[in-house]
Amino acid sequence: MNKLKIVVTGANGQLGRELTEWSTDAAEIIGLGREMLDITNIDQCRHVFAEHQPDVVIHCAAYTAVDKAESEPDEAFRVNAAATRNVAVAAREAGAKLCYISTDYVFDGTGAVPYNEYDQTNPQTVYGKSKLAGEQMVQTLHDRYYIVRTSWVYGKYGNNFVKTMLKMASERDQLMVVADQLGSPTYTYDLAAFLLELVQTDYFGLYHASNSGICSWYDFAKAIFEDSGITIQLHSCTTADFPRPAPRPAYSVMDRSAIRSNGLSQLRPWREALNHYLKDSE
């Protein structure tokens, strides 16, 4: 069997860097950070993909500063929409399948049951709108694509909620965490494993991928401290207590129906994944 050749954009980011660690017997992974590939330059995308001749491009590079995007929408759209167009066009020309990483922010968060892949999108933030525009670029400009929406991502690399909680716990004896936003944490290790399984298939289309189970940010923080053996006074608060420039979805639980219907591996329960992460980073 020939090795699958995978190019990963945004290879210095949280998920991109995780993926670059996964070169296996089945796949050769080439990670391209910003210094090696400027996705906002279509000629460069064409040149780099033509040079590497990948079978698959996993497009992780993105503008992810959710609050900052509210004050610089042009930049968010330049990176998440126009640059995604460049990647889609260049990947298609190179004959590569394309996997685009998207977000729960494409929904408005007013639901009460898990969003499935075909539910109506209604982003409320510049970030969410720009990522949805990226999805539309992929759907219209490429014919063999996977769009994978994920949520509440954390892992070994980059900044994330778990690292923030552990850091704050080392500096304070009490913390307040929002309890009225519900979602599903996603461990980059598990997401990377799923993506590598997915791109070896021809099951193209839209996917929701997160660790299974539901929690609030408060529940998540509580689990982080319990599983790390940290004693701290943890208080719950509401979203209204912490106003942010970009509104946070109150409910961003996603139903993973496409994973089930295609017989792919479900990601494990979020608490189990958290335990794996905490043990791994000791």
The amino acid that residue 176 corresponds to is: M
Contact 7, 58 (CB under 8 A): yes
Catalytic residue among 100, 127, 145, 277: 127
Contact 161, 170 (CB under 8 A): no
Beta bridge partners of 27: 4
Q: Is 154 a catalytic residue?
A: no
CA neighbor of 88 nearest in space, from 101, 76, 75, 100: 100
Q: Is 23 exposed, middle or buried (0-12, 13-18, 19+ CB in 10 A)?
A: middle
DSSP 31: E
- Nearest 10 degrees: CA dihedral of 197, 132, 74, 127? -80
Active-site residue numbers? 127
